[in-house]
Amino acid sequence: MIPAAGQPSRPGSEGPVPESEAPESIAETSLTKPYGRQYHPSPADWRKEVLYSIVVDRFQASTPATVEGDPADGCSRHGGNLRGLSTRLDYIRELGATAIHLTPVALNGSGSYHGYAPRHFMAVDPRLGTMEDFRQLIARAHERGIRVVLDLVLNHAGPVFEYADGSNLWRRVGEAADIRDNEIGIWPLELAWPQHFSRRGVIDDWNDTEQETLGDFPPDYRRLATENSDTQRLLQSIACWWIRESDIDGIRLDAVRHMDRSFLTLLCDTVKKYAGCLGKSNFLIIGEHAGDDEPMIASCFDSGMDAVYNYGEYRRQNWALHGQAPARELEESFHIASKAFGCDHGFTIRFIDNHDVYRFLRDAEPAGRLRVALAHLFLSIGIPMLYYGTEQGFRQSTQRLEPENLQDPADPGNREDMFLEGRFTSPSSHGDRFDTSSPFSRWTSRLIELRRRHTALHLGGRRSCSRNRTDRESTPSCATTMTNASSSC
Percent of the chain residues topping a pLDDT of 70: 91
Domain contains 293 = yes
Check residue 413 and report its DSSP letter: T
Pairwise CA distance, residues 362 & 408, whole Å:
13
The whole-angstrom separation of Cα 349 and Cα 253 is 13
Specify the pLDDT at position 3. 37
**186 within some domain:** no
423: DSSP letter: -
Residue 168 within any structural domain of the chain: no
CA distance 380 to 97: 16
E strand or H helix at 329:
helix 328-341
pLDDT above 60: residue 445:
yes
The pLDDT assigned to 486 comes to: 46
Q: Using alpha carbons only, how large is the chain's radius of gyration in Å?
A: 22
In this structure, is residue 114 part of a structural domain?
Answer: yes
Average pLDDT of every residue of the chain: 91
Rounded Cα distance between 419 and 204, Å, is 37
Q: In terms of residue numbers, what domain contains 284?
A: 26-155+226-488
Whole-structure pTM value: 0.93
Largest interatomic CA distance in the chain? 66
| DSSP single-letter state for residue 3 | P
19, part of any domain: no
Q: Residue 299 in 3-state DSSP?
A: helix
- Confirm whether 73 is domain-assigned: yes
Distance CA 129, CA 64 (A): 9
Backbone torsions φ then ψ of 199, nearest 5 degrees: 60, 50
CATH number of 322's domain = 3.20.20.80
In-domain check, residue 42: yes
Residues in the chain: 489
**Does any domain span residue 17?**
no
Q: Residue range 34-59: average pLDDT?
A: 97
pLDDT tier for residue 461 given thresholds of 50, 70 and 90 = low
The count of domains in the chain is 1
pLDDT at residue 359 is higher than 60: yes
